A = this chain, B = another copy of it.
């Protein structure tokens, strides 16, 4: 049997696993995004996402696609197709420290909703105001997976990690100035967390965190 044979098998089997496609929109023109979304939409049922699309470009993409798709301005996302029905083991909490971390947090939240999860937003709970975080402790402990989004305040993931017993996905953001070094400080801080049960995705990678949170939330559910 040929090597190409392997590839075909692979493609089929992967396809059956319901992986949602994503288009990374930064640096692509509206024409390119519309073309890729169009091609992918023709080939499959699952909802599609295009990330890092500003409002103006999103309007162009939707026009090029004949009005198809929904734009989520806070998340800078276009979704083509409907979100799946909420399912999984429980609720995913997307926690963020400051308003500047919002776009990344929303990218994670809308991604998780699209993939079929109930999402709880917990905002403005940076560790500099621990009482606000504490006030949401019951919410945090009710989640099956937590996505913790923070920039300079990389400490957020550590603190949450010590308070809950579910998996925590930490997303460093490039928000900050000076020695935040475009997210490097938060990234290192999160990697060095003393709390167990935390892992980290790339700086600003809200999509990746939402996608992984959904996978975890659906584990063992066919």
Q: Which residues of A contact B (CB under 8 A)?
A: 1, 3-11, 13-14, 17-19, 22, 26-28, 32, 89-90, 97-100, 126-132, 134-135, 137-138, 141, 144-145, 152-155, 158-159, 161-163, 165-167, 169, 172, 174-189, 191-205, 207-209, 211-212, 215-217, 219-220
Contact = CB atoms under 8 A, between A and B. Distances in A.
Copies in the complex: 8
A147 to B, nearest CB: 10
A181 B185 CA distance: 12
B184 A212 contact: no
Contact of A5 (B1, B22, B199, B209): B1
Contacts of A207: 196
Contacts of A19: 165, 196
A100 B220 CA distance: 32
A6 B128 contact: no
Contacts of A177: 26, 202-205
Given A8-B135, A22-B196, A180-B188, 20 more contacts: A3-B134, A11-B131, A18-B165, A27-B175, A28-B100, A89-B220, A127-B162, A130-B159, A144-B220, A152-B193, A153-B158, A154-B189, A178-B202, A179-B192, A180-B192, A191-B200, A197-B212, A197-B215, A198-B212, A220-B220
